Structure 1
Amino acid sequence: MVILCVAAGSAVVVLAVVGLVLGDFPVPVRSAIAAALWDRGSEFDFVIHSLRLPRLAVAVLAGMCLAASGALFQALIDNPLVSPDVIGIDTGAAAAAVTILAAGFAPRWLPLAAFGGALAAAGLILALAWRRGTSGARVVLVGIGINALLSAVITFMLVRFPIERVSAAARWQAGTLSSSSWGDARTLAVGAAVLVPLAYVLVRRLRAMQLGDDAAVGLGVPLERSRVAVVATGCGLAAVVVAVVGPLGFVALLVPHIARALAGSLGIGVMTLTVLLGAVMLLSADIAAQRLFAPTVLPAGVMTAALGGPYLLWVLRRFHRAG
């Protein structure tokens, strides 16, 4: 586990250096590292500190939050197809955020609106899927339906309101890191500082809950409070990312799968590996989105969907064969 985490952390550092160096204005490796860490006022200061470093910080923090959110939901529902983007939680956050933007509210309300939308979507999904308990298959099916419904709401908002109001919402909806700022990085840092440690606390409860309700109660786990805490934490982690960079599909679905395949079932070490791999995936996707079709820059969400879509089809095929 230590070797895996060190390797993932090293990959984050290497990708960050690559992100600092590459671009329309290439920067030598030594100069990029110096400008990022200590050489303020150099000729590369604006490119590094105002353009590239905030984008890298946002990519790292957003990837960590999405990966942790996916790990929590998959462990809670005990279904590898559950993630906030597949079952509509991301879309709930996006629908609330687009509504706020289209109605003309200030962008400072985005995080609160996105969290409320994500929490409302999660509550609706769990309520509709409840039948003497929650079934992973029911949660996925209900979530896919809610996802489609909320996507229709977003489309309605985009065509209903004047173009000058919804143009920013339409660009944001693509899931891009291109306009990332230090303010975005601070918002994500605050969310991650509060919610990621809480996710670590909930990992122990989730491990007990996976033994069954009776065993968890026997171990002193308050079941209902723990479920509510997991849902609220997972929604918060997804919502803060959606509020800052828009919906980024498949990171929350794909990364926990990779972590479990490498290191086994969810635990403290696996959660650490998961958040590091989330940063690796989103950094890789954003760098690829910038450079693969240069000078055209794609939204990072396009690259995460290109990676995650085929993987989702492969998982569904495995489930079909197992059934």
Structure 2
Amino acid sequence: MTNQVLSSNVIRTTRTALGGSTAMARQRRRVLLIGVLCAAALAVLTTIALTTGEVAMSAPTALRAVIGLGDQGDVYIVQEFRAPRVVAGLIAGAGLAVAGAVLQRLFRNPLASPDVMGVTGGASFGSVLVLALGAGQTLIPLGALGGGLLAAVLLGTLGWRSGLSVTRLVLVGLAVQAGLAAAVNLMVVRFPRELAGQAMQWTTGSLYGRTWLEVEGAAIASALVLVVLFLRYRTLEVLDLGDDSAGTLGISVSGARLTLLLTTVALAALAAALTGPVSFVALAVPHLVRLLAGRPTVGTMAVTGLAGATLLVGCDLIVQHVLPINGLPVGVVTATVGAPWLLILMLRESSPVQRRTA
């Protein structure tokens, strides 16, 4: 009898292990498939962005122009206008999406994202302040980073006290975002006329007029921050187990959370330094990736970055070539898509069923 019990336990354990490994393998294949599809979509959207406009050109012509070959007029159009805009969309979309995914896991709440919690509003405030003080374009990323950290400090001071729910923290973040947006609008109104148009993108979010000088600085800084986040991914996984479990495993919970939070704020601020406050990319994309790819892994975080870049570049193409209104900021499109998503999430968070199952 004892041998039979032992044998059944061994069989049950083996089946559980095999089932778990099968599920993990299935998820890896799903993540790989979604990543390939996002990369293919991104390649198609990038090609369309480089070839369409007032001066249409073929894909081979545009790709040659990217590396400086072909007609000099085509090279100038692609390298000075189209390529920086596309690369800015790639960097900002990926940065916002990854930042949103990390914040949602840190706060264990689907409503947490840089734009909802005031970080992108702070980055916009810092960027416009740099312009208002007459500093050069090269200092805009530093201004955005400082503004994002300011928003994080305000959020912590006003809302991060013991006993407050994360939903209330998000509401405080929305208030911080609104206040900083009002400060940006005030500075824009007080700008000289020649600077007001340059600063207007920081009120709604836009990829218009990006230059290689801005893009290169943000690209290098964002790449470094992303490397730090991926190197700290194991810490994020341990924090997912809960503060008590993480503490027993030797993790300084408060220090780890603060490090990840500051790194995430820096990533979102650098994205906002390129685009202004583009809404809801950071909120919606992590949810869609989890819905399609399953539980968070390092692979799903990479796919989240790809999906964010794809979404922002696609929305920018809609702004440029589909909608009949010229000069419409890309933030208007992302906000139109994302506002219903935020409403649905808030209704789910406040529903009695959701609270009982939480």
- Length-normalised TM-score, structure 2: 0.84
Residue of structure 1 aligned with 2:82, choices 52, 70, 75:
52
Structure 2: unaligned runs, 5 residues or longer: 1-30
The answer to whether the Cα contact below 8 Å between 2:184 and 2:202 also exists between their aligned partners in 1 is: no
Structure 1 residues 44 and 294: alpha-carbon distance in aligned structure 2, compared to 1, 3 A threshold: farther
* Alignment partners' CA distance in 2, 1:319 and 1:172: 30
Map of 2:142 onto structure 1: 112
Alignment of 1:147-162 (within 5 A): 147-162=177-192
Map of 1:90 onto structure 2: 120
Map of 2:101 onto structure 1: 71
* Alignment partners' CA distance in 2, 1:126 and 1:143: 9
Map of 1:306 onto structure 2: 336
1:177 aligns with 2:207: yes
| 1:13-44 deviation line (CA, Å, top 9, x unaligned) | 11111111221111112322333357355652
* Alignment partners' CA distance in 2, 1:2 and 1:313: 31
1:228 aligns with 2:234: no
* Higher mean displacement: 32-41 or 167-176: 32-41
Structure 1: unaligned runs, 5 residues or longer: none
| 1:102-146 deviation line (CA, Å, top 9, x unaligned) | 232333222112111111211221232233366322321211121
Q: CA deviation at 1:6?
A: 1.2
Structure 1 residues 144 and 172: alpha-carbon distance in aligned structure 2, compared to 1, 3 A threshold: closer
Map of 1:273 onto structure 2: 303
Which aligned segments of 4 or more residues in structure 1 are displaced greater than 6 angstroms? none
Local SS of the residue matching 1:44: helix
* Bigger radius of gyration: 2
Aligned-pair identity (%): 36
Local SS of the residue matching 1:90: helix
* Alignment partners' CA distance in 2, 1:127 and 1:202: 26
- Length-normalised TM-score, structure 1: 0.93
Q: CA deviation at 1:70?
A: 0.8
Map of 1:257 onto structure 2: 287
Aligned pairs, number: 323
Structure 1 residues 62 and 40: alpha-carbon distance in aligned structure 2, compared to 1, 3 A threshold: farther
| 1:62-102 deviation line (CA, Å, top 9, x unaligned) | 11111111111111111111111111111111122222222
The code of the aligned residue for 1:153 comes to: A
Local SS of the residue matching 2:200: helix
Map of 1:138 onto structure 2: 168
The answer to whether the Cα contact below 8 Å between 1:291 and 1:297 also exists between their aligned partners in 2 is: no
The answer to whether the Cα contact below 8 Å between 2:138 and 2:214 also exists between their aligned partners in 1 is: no
Q: CA deviation at 1:318?
A: 2.4
Map of 1:6 onto structure 2: 36
Root-mean-square deviation (CA), in Å?
2.0
